[in-house]
Amino acid sequence: MSHRPFPGRRSVLRGSLAASAALTVPAALGAAPALALSGRPNAGWGVQAGDITQNSGLVWVRSDRPARMVVETAATASFRDARRWRGPLLGAGSDFTGTTRLHGLPAGEQIHYRVTLADPDDPRRTGEPVTGTFRTAPERRRQDVRFVWSGDLAGQGWGINESIGGYRIFDAMARTDPDFFLCSGDNIYADGPISATATLPDGTLYRNVVSEEKAHVATTLADYRGNFRYNLLDSALRRFNSQVPNIIQWDDHEVRNNWYPGEVIGSGTAYPAGTALDDLAVRSRRAFSEYFPISTISARPDGRIYRVIHHGPLLDVFVLDMRTYRNANSPDDQTTDPVGILGREQLEWLKRELAASRAVWKVIANDMPLGLVVPDTTEGAPNYEAVAQGDPGAPLGRELQIAELLRFVKHRRITGTLWLTADVHHTSAQHYDPSRAAFKDFAPFWEFVSGPLNAGAFPASALDGTFGPDRVFVKAPATSNVSPAQGYQFFGEVAIDGGSGELTVRLREYDGTVLFTQVLQPGLVGQ
């Protein structure tokens, strides 16, 4: 990989933190440190950046009281010649969170940012600035690109355990010095309460940080907000957020396990009988939009999550939403399926954007796998949750929509597609090839699975032969719900060489150990 024309993020951050200690109250606010008054707004939940492009991005913060958000950006950690951005007023209506859109940024550069919260009635009353940094997407192909991905955080009752380093996987991801983190969904487990302790197989206790909102399943807006806020209690995650921008998608556990539009919960669950999951989804989406900086949510009244992030000449990231527009979970063996897992509008959008993309690599971030069988047993019925249903023959059910998309990629000769997912709580690499498949009208491609970040690990899922998957690597436990203290937590890394365009995928363990490496060549249809 060629050397980058800027210092590594870790050295940059050290300088940025030192600068923030010396500059408690920015001069841009017109106040000296000695004039800062008591009762200042506090940004103790850290900062985040998201959806970074060549010249734009979003910066997020949360206050502990009403405040004006002010962002400064600069080329160095000293914040000399800083540019100032007047952000929104933060109040109870957004749970004191806010996002400021940055624009006109230089491409391919390290950007330092500093967020200060000011009293709305007295700009002299300011909180201590919180700093962060990110790299904008490159304008020229010669700059390398590197990112990490995973999903599934605080699931199955396994929360922040400070005795094992909390969400320690985020420190390992930061050490790879990525341009961004792609979270493949299940950022929270709204349906998964967290208790103070859980007993491990050896009789020792797994000790969780607890909060009021995580003591029960989420049903109210306050519950959902508390679920997203719970993760920010972890210092490793807050450190990571200040160093690495996010591209966030969602999946089922942001609302409830295996949910789909129109679903109504019956009796015998932790929820009141007759609970409409569409109502819970509205509350979750609002909290989701408040706690993550996402470009489409902030720009569109419908709060759409699916989008494409253009990361320079080498990479476009197509962020799918396989949850909001899907049909009901079922045996999934229907011979026609106009809705599928994406919905018709999203499918047509994806086709248009793939055909229009000129990026060397087109990463399709699918929050559910294509050829791995994911059963849905929440209501006791033999239904299926993802695309595959275990029938290795011709496409049925949701497979029909994926077959349509794969055929489109082949016939439009779209090169460099790569599928990345999480969801199944193990890590694996699948190569799909028409020579092994029942459906043959597509070009070979790869799908890589990684996760969980901090949740129960599970045995490998069965494969469905419709699209001819060959699982060339897998690491998964032999038993279900293995705790983060026992390992089996994973993330993936993608590195694209700016000179050759070659793409390397590495599947890694929670400590950064490389388990599997696959090198892919540019310019091939499918991949």
pLDDT digits (tens, 9 = 90+) for 241-288: 999 999 999 999 999 999 999 999 987 789 999 999 999 999 999 999
Is it the case that residue 9 has pLDDT exceeding 50?
no
**SS3 track for 291-313:** HCCCHHHHHCCCCCCCEEEECCC
- As a whole-number percent, the residues of the chain with pLDDT over 70 amount to 92
Whether the CB-CB separation of 245 and 49 falls below 8 Å is answered with yes
DSSP of 316-353 = EEEE--SSSS----B----S--SSTTT-HHHHHHHHHH
> Is the pLDDT at 196 greater than 60, yes or no?
yes
Q: What is the mean pLDDT of residues 393-401?
A: 98
pLDDT, residue 124, reads 86
When pLDDT is averaged across residues 506-522 and rounded to a whole number, the result is 98
The answer on pLDDT for 29 being more than 70 is no
Tokens 């699916």: give the residue.
306
pLDDT at residue 381, as a whole number? 75
Q: CA neighbours within 13 Å on the CB side: how many for 60?
A: 28
Q: Report the SS3 class of residue 477.
A: coil
pLDDT of 204 higher than 60: yes
pLDDT at 11: 45
Q: Alpha carbon of 25 to those of 32, 100, 121, 124: distances in Å?
A: 6, 19, 17, 9
Kindly report the average pLDDT of the chain as a whole number.
92
CA nearest 170: which of 489, 503, 497?
489
Confidence of residue 1 (pLDDT cuts 50, 70, 90): very low
Instruction: Confirm if 522 and 145 have CB atoms less than 8 A apart.
Output: no
Taking a C-beta distance cutoff of 8 angstroms, is the pair 319, 249 a contact?
Answer: yes
pTM: 0.92
pLDDT of residue 266: 82
- As beta bridge partners, residue 447 has 419, 430
* 3 state SS of 405: helix
pLDDT attached to residue 80: 93
The helix/strand/coil state of 169 is helix
Phi, psi of 242, deg, nearest 5: -75, -15
* Least confident interval from 87-91, 194-198, 301-305: 301-305
| pLDDT, tens digit, 9 for 90 and up, residues 452-503 | 999 999 999 999 999 999 999 999 999 999 999 999 999 999 999 999 999 9
Dist CA 121 CA 293 (whole Å)? 26
Whether the CA torsion 388, 394, 396, 399 is positive or negative: it is: positive
Per-residue model confidence as pLDDT tens digits over 300-319: 656 799 999 999 999 999 99
pLDDT at 377: 83
**What is residue 218's three-state secondary structure?**
coil
Identity (one letter) of the amino acid at 300? R
Q: How many CA atoms lie within 13 A of 24 on its CB side?
A: 14
Class of residue 273 by CB neighbours under 10 A (exposed 0-12, middle 13-18, buried 19+)? exposed
Q: Which domains does the chain have, with CATH numbers?
A: 46-136 (2.60.40.380), 145-520 (3.60.21.70)
How big, in percent rounded to 5, are the helix, strand and coil portions of the chain?
20, 30, 50
